[in-house]
């Protein structure tokens, strides 16, 4: 691997990321899968970086899942998106930030489509007006929320209490980074670092002390792929793709996986349990899995937030071995206590993959 | 006074043209931007299909152009069009008045790193056809010398027939070059298994097809019909290549010790830049546009400006030499008609 | 394999993995039939084969299967060959396909591939 070769490519794919004043839209599913990730993003942006970070309760789904599952036509998805832009315009913002990769892809695709076919944009404006009497400006900048954390990765590193380093050996942790397909594969120039060797997560890992692993199936899909998973008959494809990735990264003995998509961490995490049940195989050391995180969770960990406040108890793969490796303190007895120490009950433990 | 002809580019087309112009009693001036003559051929080792040493060709051509005025390390600063002639200002300060300019500006090898998915410049064991010729010449390349080379791959059409790379043209010589280089590597590493990934094998020239069957039968080189989609590196630093075996209708995957990318021919930027000084048209393939692609391939639409060789499109060595002679004859008839 | 309670399973990759193909028998074949590798996949043989339309026999595909480690598939196709020799007549490379079929049977038949 020639690191300078990658640096050269990264230097060619840099995008302008606004410094402040963001209009923020959430992901449909992230709060269920990784409940504290978006909370952490707000915490970092508002309270640590002291940025103007606006969100409104009136925004809806971007329609991305329905669009990618072929249940709504693109015009419908476009009108939904137009309404989101109208909310941004009403609130007086120009920088639009999406928390979801598929949303980000959806917005990018729609803006590009309107650029190529202005008559379609005109029609959507008309449809939006008819539907809810709203008008909109297109965002000046479009970013994915991982772009923001990437932009401020060094600031976060300065404030960090922990680094992605093995406390015992002093060695950097071996980190697999996985980028959601819709981040840059459709429009390589819209992603930090491009599509073949994206830098958005690699940059965070480097900045926070870890070592990025480049394994053969790095560019491969996590396995979610909407229709692959949502239609039960296709679920075999979903897990087969995930399995392929784990088989490929296994020789590198990764300590952890960092992701920037709502679906990827979920499937990389949960399918490890299913693979263990089907094949009796686990990919972490000592019968554990490889813990999978969102980038906000990793940011939260290095900034010294309590792992259980970051919602890590909702992960399938046990995170404790990694916390021990870094030296992050946690109270095992508090793992299944929710807000106000309320007992949130303990899940059943799988047979073939070690969990707590 | 002997008629002056300014030849832009000291590659094989420029040299051959200069030698023929000398034979006809004219006074050729070669302007070459680099510090040596012979262009791409001077960097090559042996030429298909007879394995002629490239150095022999360059030295023979150089020998024959001894009587020409040659400016090395010299670029064209600007060209002014006068009433019946051109005034050329060179970067060394010299100014030349001439009625005849011959473009032998050649081509550039496609920059393989632009095909990011093939990992040239990122993965250690990925090299180009140019790098391999360099190794044949010098024997020095840490990626090949002293390495255990058991499996080798060749990727045809790198930056050719590729609209996304903005080169829709076939580079013509890469198929036969890949076969030539595969045979040469097989001779150096007799136990190696060699795989060529191709879309079509375009073996149009004299003895090319024989070369192909020889590669198959005598050298056991394998041919897989399918364009390589993605290259990655495994933990041992070997390259993993993914393609579709389109004849089997199945994806195919192979781990290799060395992958050679057959970079195609693209029009050199210097060529277009110099042509721009004279407002010469560029064709849809990015190469200089001849006034006609059948009858007048060596003529530009402008009076007194001629082309020879790969500045108008990918060419083989013999084609380039033949075109240089043809352009000289064209210039000669123009002068004689005066 | 454990009991699968999920209602779906991990499918094996359909990709041909050349790293795992054992080429020993094909090389043995090439020693007696050096022309076996000269096929340029033109398809004349399959187009003229009387068995092709009914059985999927194709000497082109047989050669490809053998090189991709799919001996069983090759044998399944080849069992339909009637040794009529039409493919030999049309092969532009002059490959003695009739003799090739016999050599393949002899060499690969030693193994339990039938």
Residue in chain A lying closest to C4 (CA): A278
Burial (Cβ within 10 Å: 0-12, 13-18, ≥19) of residue A50: exposed
Please state, in angstroms and rounded to a whole number, the distance separating the CA atoms of residues B143 and B160: 25
Range of the domain at C70: 21-107
What does the angle CA B43 – CA B214 – CA B199 come to, to the nearest 5 degrees? 70
A205-218 tens-digit pLDDT = 999 999 999 999 99
Residue in chain B lying closest to C18 (CA): B254
Chains touching chain A through at least 3 C-beta pairs below 8 angstroms are: B, C
CA neighbours closer than 13 Å in the CB half-sphere of residue C112: 0
Contact residues, chain A, for C10 at CB < 8 Å: 236, 239-240, 243, 275, 278-279
Whole-number pLDDT of residue B277: 95
Residue in chain A lying closest to B126 (CA): A1
Residue in chain A lying closest to C9 (CA): A236
Chains touching chain C through at least 3 C-beta pairs below 8 angstroms are: A, B
Of C5, C8, C13, the CB nearest to A239: C8
What does the angle CA B278 – CA B283 – CA B288 come to, to the nearest 5 degrees? 45
CB proximity B142 to C under 8 Å: no
CB proximity B251 to C under 8 Å: yes
Q: Residue A233 — very low, low, confident or very high, per pLDDT cuts 50/70/90? A: confident
The answer as to whether C8 is a domain residue is no
Residues 6 or more apart whose CB falls under 8 angstroms from that of C99 comprise C33
The alpha carbon of residue A265 is apart from the nearest alpha carbon of chain C, in Å, by 19
Name which of B193, B254, B259 to mutate to probe chain C: the one with the most chain C Cβ atoms within 10 A of its Cβ: B254
Strand (E) positions, chain B?
4-8, 27-31, 46-47, 52-53, 69-71, 76-81, 86-90, 95-98, 100-103, 107-109, 126-128, 151-158, 193-198, 222-225, 228-233, 239-245, 250-256, 258-263, 265-267, 305-307
Residues 6 or more apart whose CB falls under 8 angstroms from that of B177 comprise B48, B129, B262
- Pairwise CB contact (< 8 Å): B225 & C64: no
Q: Helices in A59-199 by DSSP H: which ranges?
A: 64-68, 74-91, 101-116, 118-132, 145-151, 153-159, 181-184
Residues 6 or more apart whose CB falls under 8 angstroms from that of B327 comprise B17, B102, B298, B306, B307, B308
Is pLDDT at A145 greater than 70 in this prediction? yes
Of C35, C37, C41, the CB nearest to B225: C41
Is pLDDT at C27 greater than 50 in this prediction? yes
Mean pLDDT, residues B59-81: 96
Whole-number pLDDT of residue C113: 46
Q: Residue C114 — very low, low, confident or very high, per pLDDT cuts 50/70/90? A: very low
- Pairwise CB contact (< 8 Å): A232 & C8: yes
Query: What percent of chain A has pLDDT above 70?
Result: 100
A108-126 tens-digit pLDDT = 999 999 999 999 999 999 9
B2-16 tens-digit pLDDT = 899 999 999 999 999
C44-65 tens-digit pLDDT = 999 999 999 999 899 999 999 9
The alpha carbon of residue C4 is apart from the nearest alpha carbon of chain A, in Å, by 6
B211-269 tens-digit pLDDT = 999 999 999 999 999 999 999 999 999 999 999 999 999 999 999 999 999 999 999 99
CB proximity B111 to A under 8 Å: no
The alpha carbon of residue C82 is apart from the nearest alpha carbon of chain B, in Å, by 24
- Pairwise CB contact (< 8 Å): A217 & B117: no
The alpha carbon of residue A240 is apart from the nearest alpha carbon of chain C, in Å, by 5
Please state, in angstroms and rounded to a whole number, the distance separating the CA atoms of residues B138 and A35: 61
- Pairwise CB contact (< 8 Å): B250 & C16: yes
Contact residues, chain A, for C5 at CB < 8 Å: 277
CB proximity B252 to A under 8 Å: no
- The rounded mean pLDDT for chain C is 91
Residue closest to A104 by CA, chosen among A284, A261, A275, A328: A261
- Pairwise CB contact (< 8 Å): A1 & B116: no
Which positions 271-330 of A are in contact with C (Cβ < 8 Å)?
274-275, 277-280
Residue in chain A lying closest to B116 (CA): A196
- The rounded mean pLDDT for chain A is 95
CB proximity A12 to B under 8 Å: no
The answer as to whether C12 is a domain residue is no
Of A196, A215, A251, the CB nearest to B117: A196
Is pLDDT at C1 greater than 90 in this prediction? no
Name which of C16, C29, C100 to mutate to probe chain B: the one with the most chain B Cβ atoms within 10 A of its Cβ: C16
- Pairwise CB contact (< 8 Å): C2 & A277: yes
- Pairwise CB contact (< 8 Å): B252 & C18: yes
Query: What percent of chain B has pLDDT above 70?
Result: 100
As for how many domains chain C has, the answer is: 1
The answer as to whether C3 is a domain residue is no
Name which of A216, A227, A231, A236 to mutate to probe chain C: the one with the most chain C Cβ atoms within 10 A of its Cβ: A236
Q: Residue C112 — very low, low, confident or very high, per pLDDT cuts 50/70/90? A: low
The answer as to whether C2 is a domain residue is no
ipTM above threshold 0.85: yes
Mean pLDDT, residues B44-51: 94
A44-93 tens-digit pLDDT = 999 999 999 999 999 999 999 889 888 999 999 999 999 999 999 999 99
Q: Helices in chain B by DSSP H: which ranges?
A: 12-23, 39-43, 54-64, 129-138, 174-188, 208-217, 269-277, 317-337
The answer as to whether C95 is a domain residue is yes
Contact residues, chain A, for B235 at CB < 8 Å: 215, 251-252
CB proximity A252 to B under 8 Å: yes
CB proximity B203 to C under 8 Å: no
Whole-number pLDDT of residue C2: 63
Contact residues, chain B, for C93 at CB < 8 Å: 213
- Pairwise CB contact (< 8 Å): A236 & C5: no
The answer as to whether C42 is a domain residue is yes
Contact residues, chain B, for C60 at CB < 8 Å: 247
Mean pLDDT, residues A138-145: 97
Contact residues, chain B, for C24 at CB < 8 Å: none
Is pLDDT at C111 greater than 90 in this prediction? no
Mapped onto helix, strand or coil, the DSSP state of residue C74 is: helix
B144-201 tens-digit pLDDT = 998 899 999 999 999 999 999 999 999 999 999 999 999 999 999 999 999 999 999 9
The answer as to whether C40 is a domain residue is yes
Which pair of tokens denotes residue B305?
Answer: 């400006």
- Pairwise CB contact (< 8 Å): C11 & A235: no
The alpha carbon of residue C62 is apart from the nearest alpha carbon of chain A, in Å, by 29
Is pLDDT at B1 greater than 70 in this prediction? no
Which pair of tokens denotes residue B214?
Answer: 């020889």
- Pairwise CB contact (< 8 Å): C64 & B248: yes
Contact residues, chain C, for A280 at CB < 8 Å: 2
- Pairwise CB contact (< 8 Å): B222 & C67: yes
CB proximity B209 to C under 8 Å: no
Residue in chain C lying closest to A241 (CA): C10
Query: What percent of chain C has pLDDT above 90?
Result: 82
- Report which DSSP code applies to C57: -
CB proximity B124 to A under 8 Å: yes
Mean pLDDT, residues A238-256: 97
- The rounded mean pLDDT for chain B is 96
The answer as to whether C68 is a domain residue is yes
CB proximity B89 to C under 8 Å: no
Mapped onto helix, strand or coil, the DSSP state of residue A22 is: strand
Contact A89, A136 (CB under 8 A): yes
Mapped onto helix, strand or coil, the DSSP state of residue A57 is: coil
- Pairwise CB contact (< 8 Å): B253 & C37: no
Please state, in angstroms and rounded to a whole number, the distance separating the CA atoms of residues B153 and A342: 61
Kindly list the strands in the beta sheet with B250-256, ordered across the sheet, starting from the edge strand earlier in the chain. B228-233, B239-245, B250-256, C16-17
B270-288 tens-digit pLDDT = 999 999 999 999 999 999 9
């Amino acid at each position: 691997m020639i690191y300078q070769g990658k640096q050269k490519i990264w230097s060619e794919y840099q995008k302008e990321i606004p410094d402040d004043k963001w209009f923020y839209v959430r992901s449909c599913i992230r709060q269920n899968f990784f409940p504290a990730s978006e909370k952490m993003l707000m915490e970092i942006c508002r309270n640590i970086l002291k940025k103007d970070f606006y969100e409104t309760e009136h925004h809806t789904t971007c329609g991305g899942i329905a669009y990618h599952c072929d249940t709504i036509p693109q015009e419908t998805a476009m009108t939904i998106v137009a309404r989101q832009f109208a909310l941004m315009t009403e609130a007086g913002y120009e920088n639009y930030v999406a928390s979801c990769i598929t949303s980000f892809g959806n917005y990018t695709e729609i803006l590009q489509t309107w650029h190529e076919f202005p008559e379609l944009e005109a029609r959507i404006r008309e449809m939006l007006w008819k539907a809810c009497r709203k008008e909109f400006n297109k965002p000046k900048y479009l970013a994915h929320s991982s772009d923001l954390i990437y932009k401020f990765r060094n600031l976060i590193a300065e404030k960090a209490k922990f680094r992605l380093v093995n406390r015992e050996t002093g060695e950097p942790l071996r980190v697999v980074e996985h980028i959601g397909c819709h981040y840059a594969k459709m429009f390589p120039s819209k992603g930090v670092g491009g599509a073949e060797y994206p830098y958005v997560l690699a940059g965070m890992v480097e900045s926070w002390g870890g070592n990025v692993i480049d394994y053969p199936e790095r560019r491969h899909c996590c396995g979610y792929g909407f229709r692959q998973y949502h239609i039960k008959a296709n679920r075999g494809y979903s897990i087969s793709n995930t399995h392929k990735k784990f088989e490929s990264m296994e020789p590198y003995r990764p300590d952890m996986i960092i992701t920037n998509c709502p679906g990827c961490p979920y499937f990389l995490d949960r399918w490890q349990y299913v693979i263990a049940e089907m094949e009796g195989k686990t990919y972490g050391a000592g019968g554990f899995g490889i813990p999978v995180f969102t980038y906000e969770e990793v940011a939260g960990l290095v900034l010294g937030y309590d792992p259980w406040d970051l919602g890590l108890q909702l992960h399938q793969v046990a995170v404790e071995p990694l916390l021990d490796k870094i030296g992050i303190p946690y109270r095992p007895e508090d793992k299944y206590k929710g807000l106000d120490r309320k007992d949130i009950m303990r899940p059943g433990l799988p047979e073939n993959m070690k969990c707590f | 006074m002997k008629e002056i002809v300014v030849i832009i580019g000291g590659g094989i087309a420029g040299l051959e043209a200069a030698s023929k112009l000398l034979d006809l009693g004219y006074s050729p001036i070669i302007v070459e931007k680099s510090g040596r003559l012979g262009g791409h051929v001077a960097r090559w080792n042996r030429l298909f299909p007879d394995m002629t040493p490239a150095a022999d060709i360059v030295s023979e051509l150089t020998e024959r152009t001894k009587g020409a005025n040659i400016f090395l390390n010299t670029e064209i600063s600007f060209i002014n069009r006068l009433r019946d002639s051109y005034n050329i200002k060179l970067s060394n300060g010299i100014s030349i008045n001439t009625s005849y300019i011959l473009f032998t500006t050649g081509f550039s090898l496609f920059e393989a790193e632009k095909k990011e998915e093939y990992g040239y410049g990122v993965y250690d064991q990925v090299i180009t056809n140019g790098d391999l010729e360099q190794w044949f010449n010098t024997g020095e390349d840490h990626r090949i010398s002293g390495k255990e080379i058991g499996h080798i791959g060749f990727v045809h059409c790198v930056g050719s027939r590729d609209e996304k790379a903005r080169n829709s043209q076939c580079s013509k010589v890469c198929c036969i070059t890949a076969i030539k280089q595969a045979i040469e590597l097989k001779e150096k590493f007799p136990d190696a298994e060699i795989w060529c990934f191709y879309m079509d094998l375009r073996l149009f020239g004299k003895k090319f097809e024989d070369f192909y069957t020889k590669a198959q039968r005598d050298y056991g080189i394998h041919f897989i019909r399918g364009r390589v989609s993605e290259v990655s590196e495994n933990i041992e630093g070997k390259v993993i290549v993914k393609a579709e075996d389109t004849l089997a209708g199945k994806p195919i995957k192979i781990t290799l010790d060395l992958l050679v990318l057959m970079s195609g021919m693209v029009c050199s930027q210097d060529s277009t830049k110099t042509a721009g000084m004279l407002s010469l048209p560029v064709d849809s393939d990015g190469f200089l546009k001849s006034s006609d692609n059948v009858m007048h391939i060596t003529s530009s639409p402008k009076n007194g400006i001629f082309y020879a060789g790969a500045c108008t499109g990918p060419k083989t060595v013999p084609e380039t030499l033949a075109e240089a002679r043809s352009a000289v004859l064209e210039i000669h008839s123009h002068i004689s008609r005066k | 394999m454990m009991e699968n309670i999920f209602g779906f399973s991990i499918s094996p990759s359909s990709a041909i993995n050349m790293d795992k193909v054992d080429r020993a028998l094909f090389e043995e074949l090439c020693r007696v039939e050096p022309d076996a590798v000269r096929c340029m996949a033109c398809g004349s043989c399959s187009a003229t084969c009387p068995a092709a339309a009914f059985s999927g026999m194709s000497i082109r595909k047989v050669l490809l299967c053998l090189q991709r480690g799919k001996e069983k598939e090759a044998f399944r196709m080849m069992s339909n060959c009637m040794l009529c020799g039409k493919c030999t007549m049309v092969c532009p490379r002059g490959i003695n396909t009739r003799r090739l079929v016999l050599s393949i049977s002899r060499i690969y038949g030693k193994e339990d591939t039938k």
